Amino acid sequence: MANTNAPFGFSQYKGTGSAPTYEQVTGLINYNTANIFFGDPIAHLSDGSVAGITTSALPGTVPLAGIFVGCKYLSVSQKRTVWSNYWPGSDMASGNFAEAYIVNDPNAQFIVQSSGGSGITQAMVGQNIQFAYGTGNTSSGLSGAYVDAATADRTVTTLPFKIVSLVTPVGSSSPTTGQYNTVVVAFNNVETKVTTAAP
């Protein structure tokens, strides 16, 4: 059966601590920052707040701040504090900051979908890889991020993630293969762990 093209961002699989928090940390989101979805990779801006990687800081050129997993903010429309699994990109008074929840554990591992083409193969395990954002879902708040199989490389050390393994579905004896298969990745270039040498 063919894999479905339905990216869901970076879903935590392992890490220090225990579910559901895995020792996540907090950061700040500026009131006018574009929306950020649950499972999106994020980076620090010059003012210390976090956001999705912008075109001025392409993925792989700066260390990640981590993976976004929700936020808390004072909603202008609802007149109350809101806990949300995604930042909607507005609904907060000018000059204010939302509190972001971030996974930046250097030992964290995530399940993520691969891009089209031939997908990620067993021979690519151990290689570094780039991601793309895709389209986030404003109904569920889930990210549309995925890893780009065409970028997998052992020598490009600035790429943000490293392929750990292919995912074997429950009830199956073999991992998913082909385009849009799912894989386990770990941080390669995050503020808490920056790799400077090829594997």
What's the alpha-carbon Rg for the chain, to the nearest Å?
Answer: 17
The chain-wide mean pLDDT, for the chain, equals: 89
**Which of 168, 130, 198, 128 lies closest to 13 in space, CA to CA?**
168
CA 50 to chain centre: 13
State residue 77 phi and psi, 5-degree precision.
-70, -35
State residue 88 phi and psi, 5-degree precision.
-75, -5
- Given a cut of 80, whether residue 152 has pLDDT beyond it is yes
Q: Which amino acid is at 192?
A: T
Q: Which residue has the higher pLDDT, 140 or 173?
A: 140
- Given a cut of 70, whether residue 197 has pLDDT beyond it is no
- Given a cut of 80, whether residue 185 has pLDDT beyond it is yes
CB-CB contact of 85 with 70 (8 Å) = yes
User: What sign for the dihedral angle of Cα 13, 18, 23, 28?
Assistant: positive
**Which of 11, 2, 31 lies closest to 119 in space, CA to CA?**
2
Q: Report the pLDDT value the prediction gives residue 198, as an integer from 0 to 100.
A: 45
Q: Report the pLDDT value the prediction gives residue 3, as an integer from 0 to 100.
A: 86
- Given a cut of 90, whether residue 101 has pLDDT beyond it is yes
When pLDDT is averaged across residues 157-175 and rounded to a whole number, the result is 87
DSSP 8-class letter at 135: -
Q: Which residue has the higher pLDDT, 2 or 33?
A: 33
pLDDT band at 141 (very low <50, low <70, confident <90, very high): very high
pLDDT band at 15 (very low <50, low <70, confident <90, very high): confident
pLDDT in tens, 55-98: 556 666 788 999 999 999 999 999 999 999 999 999 999 999 99
When pLDDT is averaged across residues 187-197 and rounded to a whole number, the result is 79
CB-CB contact of 66 with 104 (8 Å) = yes
Q: Report the pLDDT value the prediction gives residue 156, as an integer from 0 to 100.
A: 87
When pLDDT is averaged across residues 96-114 and rounded to a whole number, the result is 95
Q: Which residue has the higher pLDDT, 20 or 50?
A: 50
Q: Report the pLDDT value the prediction gives residue 16, as an integer from 0 to 100.
A: 72
When pLDDT is averaged across residues 35-52 and rounded to a whole number, the result is 93
Q: Report the pLDDT value the prediction gives residue 171, as an integer from 0 to 100.
A: 76
The residue with tokens 């021979």 is: 123
Q: Which residue has the higher pLDDT, 23 or 26?
A: 26
